[in-house]
Amino acid sequence: MKEINELNFSDDVKYSKSHEWAKISRDIVIVGLSDYAQDQLGEVVFVELPQNGDTLFKGDELGNVESVKAVSEIYIPVSGEILEINEGLEDAPELVNESCYENGWLVKVKPDDISELNDLMNKAEYLKMLKG
């Protein structure tokens, strides 16, 4: 595992306490895992995601990520309807490791209330939490 200052934290996303990120793109929200989360997990071998059209509430279990020796739950940082899941992860789950803010995104959500994202942290706040 890397030191925190060796990790990459994108400026244009917001972070949750459980290490998901959320990014607003026009009127939808893209959700993924932070570089810290993927580094902690290690080599990801499987990602289980909900189905298109499912409706979830903020904090619900979004799915789980399986690495070689552990399975971790992922939680959705905003309430809404799942518009699209990253189908590329089925054949290439390692995208979560290799490109966590770009090709390794998890789901696209149509948010019920975009202001829920105000509860999330910006990069500086997230780094502060990680450094404890």
Partner 1 sequence: MRYLPHTKEDIESMLKVAGQSCLDDLFNSIPDDLKITGSLDIPESLSEWELNDHMEELASLNIACKNYKCFMGAGSYDHYIPAVIPYLISRSEFMTAYTPYQPEVSQGTLQGIYEFQTMVTELLGMDIATASHYDCGTALAEACLIALRQNKKANKIAVSALTHPSHRQIIHTYISPSGYEIVEIPYTKEGLTDVKALEAMDDIAGIAVQSPNFLGNIEDLSAFKAVADAKKVLFITSFTESLAFGLLKNPGSFGADLVAGEGQSLGIAKSFGGPGLGLLAGTKKQMRNLPGRLIGKTKDANGDDGFVLTLATREQHIRREKASSNICSNNGLNAMTAAVYLATVGKIGIREIARQNHDKAIYLKKSLEMAGFESAFDTPFFNEFLMKAPEGFEQKRSALINDKCTFAGICVDKFYPELKHHYLFCATETISKKDIDQLAKEVK
Among 6, 11, 27, 69, binds partner 1 (CB under 8 A): 69
129 binds partner 1 (CB under 8 A): no
Contact segment (CB under 8 A) with partner 1 among 21-29, 30-38, 67-75, 112-120 equals 67-75
For the bound state, the minimum distance from the C-beta of residue 22 to partner 1, rounded and expressed in Å, comes to 23
Give the one residue of 7, 18, 66, 94 binding partner 1; rule: CB under 8 A: 66
CA distance 97 to 35: 8
Quick check: 57 binds partner 1 (CB under 8 A)?
no
- The residue ranges that bind partner 1 (CB under 8 A) are 46, 48, 66, 69-71
